[in-house]
Chain A
Amino acid sequence: MLYVVLTFLLVSLLLYVILAGADFGAGIVELFSTKKNQQLTKKTIYRVMGPVWEANHIWIIILVVILWVGFPQFYNILVVFLHIPLTLVLLGITLRGVAFVFRHYDAYKDKSQILYDWMFRIASLLTPIFLGMTAGAMLSGELIITNDYQAYTFKELYITPWFNWFAILVGCFFAGLCAFLTSILLIGESNPDNRAIYVRKSRYTTIAVISIGFLVLSYGFINNVAFITDFIKNPYTIALIGISAILIMPLLQSIKNAKKVLSRTLAGLQVVLILLAAFITHFPVLILGANANINILETVASEKTIQVLGISLIVGGLIILPGLFHLLKSFKMIKVLEQ
């Protein structure tokens, strides 16, 4: 049953990153659009994301629940030492969520739209950066895991772990990934006249993601961040990254030819490969701290709890997944056949 729970953990993480990532990316793409394209992007995003975005964000709740129920000590470390970036993530999720709904459900479309638009765009950029910083903090080797809170300063315990160049770069990488996903999604959603805009954006964001990824690796390598030095040594990781690198050429080709299904599949696959590579580098160690590494399997809750959790997840999954698939299909987030 532990493996069922771990699978759900990984799947929710992947789905959250891809689905919510595409949603965060919507705001980022809008932010980096010219004024004319902004309105176009806004309209397209509303049509594509409107019905599904709330469901996309619930994966993070599933993720949190799995962690706190199944891996309570692991979760405890996150909420104690990464309190600040997680609060910033929440702030961002709140602001962009309400801005998105306000701008479409406000009875009158007047000047207040400008406020909603900017709130949505800025929060869409900052939220994934903070999320990425939180993930970066887990792997940065700066996290001090201790019960003796008096022995360290506030800065050492609660700021440095996430506010360092490595974590910031990971944050930017994730934001880039979000924009990359959305640009490719939008290729298939725009009409032929505007398609070129998103083809161009997709190409830029692909290059951006590769460059930031390279920066993360080189920064980590130069500064001896343990996660990175191990990342480039682990054969599985190298294999996954290798596949991802090989697939970049067909991806760029499919973007150029505006192939909807193929480009989406390849983009999604890139995210899966990168995340898997990061996940297995040290698995089951998922936190690389300054003074200790945390093996998630050592923090697992009692057998009975895992059993009940696994059953709840299977039952929940059986109810949710068909509904979700139907929703994504009905509103054409998933294009089953190329048109």
Chain B
Amino acid sequence: MDNLDAARLQMAFTLIFHIVFACIGMVMPFFMIVAHKKWLNTRNKVYLELTKSWQKGVAIFFVVGAVSGTALSFELGLLWPEFMKYAGPIIGMPFSLEGAAFFVEAIALGFYLYGWNKIPEKFHWLTGVIVGISGVTSGILVVSANGWMNAPSGFDYINGEFLNIDPVKAFFNPAWFTQALHMTLAAFTATGFAVAGIHAYQIYKQRQIELHKKAFKIAITFGTVAAILQPLSGDLSAKDIAERQPVKLAAMEAHYNTQKGAPLYIGGIVDEENEKVTYKIEIPKALSFLAFGDFNAEVKGLKDFPDDVKPPVAIVHYAFQVMVGLGTLLLVVGILFFISLKKTALSENNKFWMLFALMAPIGFIALEAGWIVTEVGRQPWIIHNVMKTKDAVTPMPGMIYSFYMYVILYSILTIAVSWLMARQIKLLNQSNLS
């Protein structure tokens, strides 16, 4: 394997890992403060127990998110030094603000975790709120920097030089809002369903039902609301990509031939060599409508783009299908929860809980698939239409060993964190709440 592919794999692998922890660390504080608020309002011990249990989860996920994030802040430069040399001064603003937001989060978390019975109750709760808000802010800022890679702006690229740099304009690049919105909702959906799923499984197993039901309700409410809003945000993203990155859109849809009133393919097997898609479901004119809001709009096909700007089609298409498919599944299951609030008979059936338990990993699979769409779909560019990934990679050979090291390290961490969570739940189920 050459150096470029090894560096790519390492970046992909470490991002996939970091995203899970970052999302949970960013969203779980919201569940925690809701439970905490309910404890303050009702003085029901169950809520206190739940808050403290979730806070341990937050602490563990936050630290893994923080250290893997620290590693990433270095990796950007270690793996892609040429990229950072030019991009750093342009997209530094969201990164430096992200540093500040992250700092606020760490300070607030210090107060929150260690503040029980030491600082005034209301202030203590408020520090939890700050953890949540600053976490989401960091997330949005980082995604804005990624948006710039898709929609480079705030500079003039003349003869290979980056001139007239305007960091503020780069920060508010055309992609930042749609991407940040889509990612924030995705984080809430994925974490909501993951946490709810874990508690649903405990209910299914008839353990500490009162506590787990309360936990489930908080998490699933966040998850479902976000899942319902997500298609709207997805639509904004699709229209944005259609305009700015038509080749990415074509790859997402495996759309080879330029045509007016282009159909939407669902599923299908992509044959990259013969530029064909087989075994697909075709919805006439739907792609034109989704991309441009007009059933007869022309959608440019992959065949009309030069070969050296095309991303790998199959991966992007499959990842897109997975993202949309699973997102829709969560939407439907989430609505089922709202129905169960009216028709209580539903939740008395144990299969109901099994269904939600099965949904636990789905949100994160969809979320990772979404990142594959946006990152692989941008290839071969690291900065869209400006710099290619192969021109940004480190000159140091042997990146494959660095990749192996991260695979081993992060695999061990994944196992360790899962094991720790299982132990938390076990302890929680053994505790006496009366």
Q: Which residues of A contact B (CB under 8 A)?
A: 50-52, 54-55, 57-58, 60-62, 64-66, 68-70, 72-73, 75-76, 78-80, 83, 86-87, 90-91, 93-95, 97-98, 100-102, 105-108, 149, 154, 157-158, 301-302, 304-305, 308-309, 312-313, 315-317, 319-320, 323-324, 327, 330-331
Mark each residue of chain B from 406 to 428: 1 if its CB lies under 8 Å from any CB of chain A, else 0. 00010001001000100110111
Bound-complex Cα distance A101 to B25 (A): 14
Complex Cα distance A50/B395, Å? 40
Which residues on B sit within 8 Å (CB–CB) of A54? Answer: 62-63, 66, 106, 109-110
Complex interface residues of chain B between 357 and 397 (CB less than 8 A to chain A)? 394-397
Q: Name the interface residues of B107-127: CB closer than 8 Å to any CB of A.
A: 107-111, 113-114, 118-119
Chain A residues, CB < 8 A from B107: 55, 320, 323-324, 327
Contacts of B71 in A (CB 8 A): 90, 93-94
Q: Which of A68, A70, A105, A154 has the most CB of B within 10 A?
A: A68
Instruction: Determine the distance from Cα of A69 to Cα of B395 in the docked complex, in whole angstroms.
Output: 21
When distances are taken between beta carbons in the complex, the residues of chain A under 8 Å from B420 are 102, 105-107
Residue B93 CB within 8 A of the other chain? yes
A102 touches B395 (CB 8 A): no
Q: Are A312 and B86 in contact (CB under 8 A)?
A: no
Q: How far is the CB of B110 from chain A (nearest CB, A)?
A: 4
- Given the contacts A64-B74, A97-B66, A323-B104, A331 and B110 also touching, CB distance less than 8 Å: yes
Q: Is the CB–CB distance between A108 and B427 below 8 Å?
A: yes
Which of B56, B63, B113, B427 makes the CB contact (< 8 A) with A51? B113
Is B355 engaged at the interface, CB distance under 8 Å to the other chain? no
The 24 sampled A-B contact pairs (Cβ below 8 Å) are A51-B110, A55-B106, A60-B70, A65-B92, A68-B88, A68-B95, A76-B81, A80-B81, A80-B395, A83-B394, A87-B405, A91-B409, A97-B67, A98-B67, A101-B63, A105-B59, A107-B426, A108-B423, A154-B398, A304-B166, A315-B100, A317-B100, A319-B104, A327-B110
Contacts known (A64-B74, A75-B77); A58 close to B102, Cβ less than 8 A: yes
In Å, the complex CA distance between A11 and B427 comes to 44
Q: How far is the CA of A93 from the CA of B409 in the complex (A)?
A: 12
Docked Cα-Cα span, A52 to B118, in Å, equals 15
CB-CB under 8 A from A73, the residues of chain B are 85
Contact between A149 and B395 (Cβ–Cβ < 8 Å)?
yes
Checking A58, A86, A305 against B165 with a beta-carbon cut-off of 8 angstroms, the contacting residue is A305
| Residue tally, chain B, CB below 8 Å to A | 66
Q: Is the interface of B mostly helix, strand, loop or mixed?
A: helix
Q: Chain A residue with minimal CB distance to B134? A: A319
The 9 A-B residue pairs with the shortest CB-CB distance, nearest first, are A69-B92, A316-B100, A79-B77, A301-B89, A107-B427, A68-B88, A51-B110, A51-B114, A305-B89
Determine if A312 and B111 form an interchain contact, defined as CB atoms under 8 angstroms apart. no
Q: Is the CB of A309 within 8 A of B93?
A: yes
Collect the chain B residues with CB atoms within 8 Å of residue A95's CB. 409
Interface presence of B402 (CB below 8 A): yes
Cβ–Cβ < 8 Å partners of B426 in chain A: 107
Assembly CA distance A101 to B68 (angstroms): 14
Q: Is the CB of A308 within 8 A of B168?
A: yes
B103 within 8 A of A: yes
Shortest CB distance A75–B (Å): 6
A69 lies within 8 A of B70 (CB): no
Given A54-B109, A68-B76, A75-B84, 13 extra CB contacts under 8 A: A54-B63, A61-B70, A65-B92, A66-B96, A72-B85, A75-B88, A87-B405, A90-B75, A107-B56, A301-B88, A309-B92, A315-B97, A319-B100
Question: Which chain B residues border A98 with CB–CB below 8 Å?
Answer: 63-64, 67, 413, 416
CA distance A321 to B420 in the complex (A): 34
Contacts of B350 on A, CB cut-off 8 Å? Answer: none
| Neighbouring B residues of A158 by C-beta, 8 Å | 396
- Contacts A87-B402, A106-B420, A316-B97 given; does A69 touch B89 at CB 8 Å: yes
Q: Check if A308 sits within 8 Å of B110, measured CB to CB.
A: no
Tell me, yes or no, whether B99 is within 8 Å of chain A by CB. Answer: yes
Given A51-B113, A80-B396, A319-B100, A305 contacting B84 (CB threshold 8 A): no
**Min C-beta distance of B305 to chain A, whole Å:** 32
Shortest Cβ distance from residue B67 to the other chain A in the assembled complex, whole angstroms: 4
Task: Pick from B103, B409, B423, B424: contact of A58, CB below 8 A.
Answer: B103
Q: Does B196 contact A (CB under 8 A)?
A: no
Query: Are the C-beta atoms of A57 and B70 separated by less than 8 Å?
Result: yes
Contact partner, A68, options B56, B84, B108, B118, Cβ 8 Å? B84
Report chain B residues within 8 Å CB of A66.
96
Give the distance in Å from the alpha carbon of A150 to the alpha carbon of B106 in the complex: 44
Q: Is B206 an interface residue (CB 8 A)?
A: no
B104/A320 in contact, CB under 8 A: yes
A87 to B92, CA, bound (A): 22
**Bound state CA distance, A156 and B33, in angstroms?**
54
Alpha-carbon separation in the docked complex, A302 to B60 (Å): 40
The minimal Cβ–Cβ distance linking A230 to chain B, given in whole angstroms, is 29
Question: Once the chains are docked, how many angstroms separate the CA of A106 from the CA of B427?
Answer: 10
Is B236's beta carbon under 8 Å from chain A? no
Chain A residue nearest to B112 (CB atoms) is A51
- Whether B78 lies near A72 (C-beta < 8 A) is no
Determine the residue in chain A with the shortest Cβ distance to B100: A316
Q: How far is the CA of A212 from the CA of B139 in the complex (A)?
A: 43
Please give, as numbers and ranges, the residues of chain B lying within 8 Å of A70 by CB-CB distance: 89, 92
> Using Cβ atoms and an 8 Å threshold, which residues of chain A touch B168?
308
Q: Is B174 an interface residue (CB 8 A)?
A: no
* Bound complex: CA A194 to CA B95 (Å): 44
* B423-A308 in contact (CB<8A): no
**In whole Å, how far is A297's beta carbon from the nearest beta carbon of chain B?**
15
- Which one of B100, B114, B423, B427 has the highest number of Cβ atoms from chain A below 10 Å of its Cβ? B100
